[in-house]
Structure 1
Amino acid sequence: MTSARPPGRVWAHVGQPFTPGTDPQAPYDVLILGAGRMGSALALTLTEHAPHLKTLLVEEGGLPNEDGATILAPGIWTTAHLPESQHGAARWTLERLRDLLGDDLQPRPYLTLHDQPAPNTQPTRDLLGAHPQSLALLDPEALPHARAHEAHTYRPGTLAQVAAQSAIRRGTDLLLNTSATPHPGGRVTLERLTVTNTHQVVTHDIHTIHAPLIVLATGAHAPAQAEHHLGVHTRHARAYRQTPHLAAPSTEAAPVLHARGLTLRPQHGAYTLIPPIHHRDPHGYAPQGGHLTGVPTGLRRETLEDLVGLMDALPPLATSDLHLGRSLADIPGAWLALPGGQPDATPTHQRLDDHTHLLLGGPHADTLGLWTADELARNIAGEVGRR
């Protein structure tokens, strides 16, 4: 059952004074920090499982906030790399994606390529017979076996925007362009720039508000926030992943290809390369580029080694179609949360203290993120109901 409350308020630009509510001590029941797809999805599901709660969604930038790799490459729903035990949650997520995105969720072939026979594989040439451009990407003798999986692609940024807008229509407030710092005891400091209507003077606006429940949904930055501001050490981590561009031609019907950890995602008539994550990066790590024949590429050494190791199986990687760039800024990259500190971990949520929960997406957010957000919303509804 959804809420009958009026639509929520939106403070979108610096000219709107922030007026959180009539109760200065606790104007909201829940504060969600981060309006990416995880935070926005949580805001929406709270309107369904606990419509009576007053919720504020806080975002440091604008909407949609799905930066780096997630906005540059299409999200892909697939169970190809999940154990059977998680397929039910993945199917639930797929139905939810259909409800929220409609025609923006597109079916697309997804092939895992192998150099040895594996269960349910077929000859690569047979599966790619209808996609000659995709077949030209690889050496069928080096990767002679392939397996087809169900998959659907969508834009994570679109999902974040649709979920946030739906939550607002059901009563959630949204505060943009605001940096939020959590503190112990259910307290959050909000810092934003505002402009007075009369004199157009830019001022630094600071608010401190309290809430019984706070959710850190700030992606890869959330574990560090928990440690630095709440004094809570978590087992979670983050990694910096770059996504090089491959200028080989693709079509709207071209399949996603996955070979030895590297994913080739069709996008804008070419491909975005999603390399594997090998390990966590320590806090404070500054991404560094590598060198290829003495030329600075701006690419991480691990990623460069992966691409070099695949050049025989995927010949276009050895041509000028692979855009490595000449500086770090030339290659898109983004921090990625690693729930549990593991490179292939699934989305999770965790209670940090009496007032704070942590919500993380990570590598499998495309397939399981909505399920995890809904699970936390159900837990919060039950928690509030027991009070």
Structure 2
Amino acid sequence: MTTPTPGRVWAHVGQPFTPGSDPQPAYDVLILGAGRMGSALALALTERAPHLKTLLIEEGGLPNEDGATILAPGVWTLAHLPAAQHDAARWTLNRLRTLLGDDLQARPYLTLHAEPAPGTQPTRDLLAAHPQSLALLDPGAFPHATAHEAHTYRPGTLAQVAAQTAIRRGTDLLLNTRATPHPGGRVTLDRLTVTNTHAIVTHETHTLHAPLVILATGAHAPTQAEHHLGLHTRHARAYRQTPHLGAPSTPDAPVLHAHGLTLRPQHGAYTLIPTIHHRDPHGYTPQGGHLTGVPTGLRRETLEDLVGLMDALPTLATSDLHLGRSLADIPGAWLALPHGHPDATPTHQRLDDHTHLLLGGPHADTLGLWTADALAREIAGGRGQ
């Protein structure tokens, strides 16, 4: 077997960008966005369609995952998926094992219940080996729990490993470049640099044409499709914060899920993943809330949810909960909502003859790699062109 020639990497404007010359397109596929979805697609294309020349373009550096995922651990679990999606999730788990190795860690996952249901067990029994976790909640409020298989990992690490592997197999990577799609497979590239006063400016501009352009820019992708391509989609986005809970956690502490709130152990404490109730309207600017009249950095919806759980999870009513004085104090990021729904799974969609949309969303931890591979299979089969 012939060893593939590694791809080129342009990390800064000091490296002249030389993609090729017209009239032939320099690339078959342009992937806009090197988060885990875009990087996973680039890697999958090296396997499914190695004959295609691919350029992966990222506005920042590697790994690029917004604050909601680079700070909070990713959790693979079947807990919230219908049975029809379990095979795809299992495929994703095997892929995660291959890419991440020991960085993928098995961890218990407990869904807490106020009433018994099929498959539940006493919460005290399931948490007998985790007294610190048991101390977080009122066992009387959640006397029952369901145990699920789960694995945690860093989404940023996944993006980096997938991109680096794709590069070794021939994918080119262009960093610190803002990419703007246009109709007809045309993409404008603004290579960015930083001035002495720390202002980000465009150093040079290039225009590329390609048969296929993939919008993998996360929550920004649907807006790009509408503003730059004139194509409306059903997809949406929401701003999700991940507050910090300073209660102690152990390396083997379980992930806890109660009434939509997930407590993910991380760095000896917890990251809180709140419920996403709805899409945020276009033009919405996230705002904090008030607790007993005092401004906090938490969004009003998130604050109301946490206040409603304080009796059942007494730790939320202590100083361990970091409320922040402004929105900037609480990690958060825009999250894509495929089909505009908080419970929708990752998806890919053909927008026109040249453009596809690739979205992760709330279930990207469990199904993202499968969805990226599904798009790669479609492209390899010629249906994506």
Give TM-score scaled by structure 1 length: 0.96
Distance in 1 of aligned mates of 2:355 and 2:185: 7
Q: Secondary structure, in 3 states, of the residue corresponding to 2:119?
A: coil
Q: SS at the partner of 2:94?
A: helix
**Residue equivalent to 1:306:** 305
- Contact between 1:35 and 1:217, CA under 8 Å: does it hold in 2? yes
Alignment of 1:166-181 (within 5 A): 166-181=165-180
SS at 1:290's partner residue? strand
- AA at the equivalent of 2:146: R
1:194 shift after superposition: 5.9
The CA deviation string for residues 147-174 of structure 1, in whole angstroms up to 9 with x for no partner, is 1000000000000000000000000000
Question: Structure 1 residue 304: deviation in Å?
Answer: 0.5
Report SS of the residue matched to 1:76. strand
- Range 183-192 or range 23-32, more displaced: 23-32
> 1:98 and 2:92 equivalent?
no
Shift of 1:3: 7.3
Contact 2:342 2:362 in 1 (8 A): yes
1:319 corresponds to: 318
Structure 1: tracts of 5 or more residues without a match: 196-201
Alignment map for 1:166-205 (pairs within 5 Å): 166-193=165-192, 204-205=203-204
2: CA distance between counterparts of 1:261 and 1:115? 13
Question: Unaligned stretches of 5+ in structure 2?
Answer: 195-200
CA deviation string 1:335-357 (max 9, x = no partner): 00000000111000000000000
Partner of 2:240: 241
State yes or no: 1:52 paired with 2:60.
Answer: no
Q: State the Cα distance separating 1:5 from its structure 2 match.
A: 3.0
In the aligned structure 1, how far is the partner of 2:325 from the partner of 2:203? 38
Answer whether contact 1:38 1:370 (CA < 8 A) is retained. Answer: yes
Q: Distance in 1 between matches of 2:112 and 2:20?
A: 56
In the alignment, does 2:252 pair up with 1:230? no
CA distance in structure 2 between the aligned counterparts of 1:10 and 1:22, rounded to whole angstroms? 18
Specify the alignment match of 1:82 in structure 2: 81
Matched positions, count? 379
Residue of structure 2 in register with 1:11 after alignment: 10
**2:32 matched to which residue of 1?**
33
- Contact 1:3/1:171 (8 A) holds in 2: no
The code of the aligned residue for 1:375 comes to A
Q: Is the deviation greater in 185-194 or in 124-133?
A: 185-194
Amino acid at match of 1:107: A
Partner of 1:108: 107
Distance, in Å, in 1 between the alignment partners of 2:328 and 2:106 is 32
Contact persistence 1:3–1:51 (CA under 8 A): no
Q: Is 50-59 or 16-25 further displaced after alignment? A: 16-25
Per the alignment, in what secondary structure is the counterpart of residue 101 of structure 2? helix
Q: Deviations over 1:190-225 (max 9, x none)?
A: 001369xxxxxx872000010000000000000000
Secondary structure in 2 matching 1:15? coil
- Alignment partners' CA distance in 2, 1:132 and 1:348: 40
Q: Provide the C-alpha distance between the structure 2 equivalents of 1:62 and 1:194, rounded to a whole number of angstroms.
A: 12
* Pair 1:194–1:277, CA change in 2 (3 A): closer
Q: Is the 8 A contact 1:349 1:360 kept in 2?
A: yes
**Partner letter of residue 136 of structure 1?**
A
Residues 15-45 of structure 1 show CA distances to partners (whole Å, capped at 9, x for unaligned) of 1111112445510000000000000000000
Asked if 1 retains the 8 angstrom alpha-carbon contact of 2:63 and 2:160, the reply is: yes
Measured in 1, the distance between the counterparts of 2:139 and 2:220 equals 41
Q: Deviations over 1:348-379 (max 9, x none)?
A: 00000000000000000000000000000000
Pairs within 5 Å for 1:264-343: 264-343=263-342
- What amino acid maps onto 1:328 in structure 2? L
- The whole-number CA distance in structure 2 between the counterparts of 1:150 and 1:283 is 37
Which residue in the other structure is 2:349 paired with? 350
Which aligned runs of 4 or more in structure 1 are off by greater than 4 angstroms?
none
Task: Give secondary structure in 1 for the equivalent of 2:162.
Answer: helix
Conserved 8 A contact 1:101-1:159 = yes
Matching residue of 2:61:
62
Post-superposition Cα deviations, 1:254-297, rounded to whole Å, max 9, x if no partner, equal: 00000000000000100000000000001211000111112110
Q: Tell me, yes or no, if the aligned pair for 2:188 and 2:207 is still in contact at 8 Å.
A: yes
Letter in 1 for 2:90: R
Q: State the alpha-carbon separation in 1 of the partners of residues 279 and 202 from structure 2.
A: 39
Which residue of the partner structure matches residue 163 of structure 2? 164
Give TM-score scaled by structure 2 length: 0.96
CA contact (8 A) 1:25 1:209 kept: no
* Aligned counterparts of 1:296 and 1:259: Cα–Cα separation in 2: 26
The residue identity in structure 1 corresponding to 2:67 is G
Contact kept, 8 Å, 1:15 with 1:194, in 2: the verdict is: no
Who is 1:199 aligned against? none
Aligned twin of 1:198: none
